[in-house]
Amino acid sequence: MKIAFLTPEYPHPKTGHSGGLGTSILNLATGLAKLGVKVVILVYQQDADAFIDEGEIKIYRIKNIKLKGLSWLLTRRKIQRKINALTMQGELDLVEAPDWTGITAYMRLQCPLSVKLHGSDTYFCHLDQRQVKARNRFFEKTALKKADAIISVSDFTGKLTKQLFQLKKDYTVIPNSIDLSKFSPARPAANENTILYFGTLIRKKGLLELPHIFNEVLERHPQARLLLVGNDSADRQSGSPSTWKLMKPLFSEKAIDRVQYLGPVPYSHIKTHIAHATVCVFPTFAEALPVSWIEAMAMEKAVVASNIGWAPEVIDDGKDGYLVHPKDHALFADRLVRVLNNEALRTQLGAEARRKVREKFSIEVVAGQSVAFYERQLEQHSRK
């Protein structure tokens, strides 16, 4: 079996910055390769066309075509030609693309196409209560209607996407995954008292709620410290070029002295920060199925996270983590303080969290589910 993943990002030194989407594709590709599947990664939005041979995983960098008013169409045609050429050469059997901005709209492919719901622009704008660009919504809806099959990383994302686009097609839930061998359990140093957030600093991930939460934590646990790791971002609602600048005045005078923002760090360093953390915090309003939560859980970290939508598909509240609404600052703080004060509780939550990841989100489990899905899709395609 030969599977291609079309993506605007992928974590490789030669393909530029990557976020959760690229990480989820890398994890799945790694799991598929272990099962003997040949994997092709097609990364568009690159600054040059190039080929990278990584053994079982082949990477094609695709440079977008820039021509005012026609870039979207010409780039799609270029990607289409590449996919069809690889199909004719016997290099791929099926392609999987993300729902984001509907990249496969108006492509005519000679192989089956799956679209995976990682969260479209329409989806995130809905959760973030922002107006979506009409163009993005149109492309996303067109791409989903044309897809031979739809996968969703969570049932919540699948149901909401069907509702937003009034889709009649069904979807199959296959979650994001991680390589457990790369995220081993780790205990923080004694009296570390570190609350870690890692990810983009942006309003939709609850970063403007976090200062209020931490202010309350510090009133009850004066030794607590908050560590922030990730890219800063502009805030569309206020027009500020920096979410971090919006956050700083929200901390109390006492709390700001206990906060450290490191900015972005190499992905390979994230594990070190997770290892040193006492508890991980994710007060987000908008996700599909966050890889960051799973990474922290795999390292047996207690997690206090948002209770919105997708969250119960990752964490069972009170069993392998805590779920709280981001606006409920007092309860969020209470759960964080409870974990900070109780080592036995942290150990129990962490052990259950890793067990959950092993049984539901490991690359072995998810790759197996994916292969079974691809086999069904190829069988259906052969009957046409």
Contact 69, 97 (CB under 8 A): no
Amino acid 20: pLDDT: 86
Q: Residue 190: pLDDT above 70?
A: no
Q: Residue 267: pLDDT above 90?
A: no
* Among 149-153, 181-185, 291-295, 357-361, the least confident range: 181-185
Q: What is the mean pLDDT of residues 170-189?
A: 90
Q: Half-sphere exposure (CA, 13 Å, Cβ side) for 3?
A: 26
Q: Residue 189: pLDDT above 70?
A: no
pTM, two decimals, is: 0.93
How far is the CA of 164 from the CAs of 75, 123, 155, 158, in angstroms?
Answer: 27, 7, 14, 10
What CA–CA distance (Å, rounded) separates 315 from 300?
13
Which residue in 75, 28, 82, 34 sits closest to 55, CA to CA?
34
Strands (E), 307-368: 322-324
Q: Residue 175: pLDDT above 80?
A: yes
* Token couple for 176: 């994001």
* Token couple for 340: 């900070």
* Token couple for 60: 């094609």
Amino acid 276: pLDDT: 93
Residue with tokens 């030794």: 223
Amino acid 297: pLDDT: 97
- Ranges of CATH 3.40.50.2000 domains, the chain: 2-177+363-383, 180-361
What is 2-177+363-383's CATH number, 2.30.110.10, 3.40.50.2000, 3.40.630.10, 3.40.50.970?
3.40.50.2000
Q: Residue 372: pLDDT above 90?
A: yes
Residue with tokens 């900070």: 340
The fold of the 180-361 domain, in CATH, is Rossmann fold (3.40.50)
Q: What are residue 183's phi and psi, to 5 degrees?
A: -130, 80
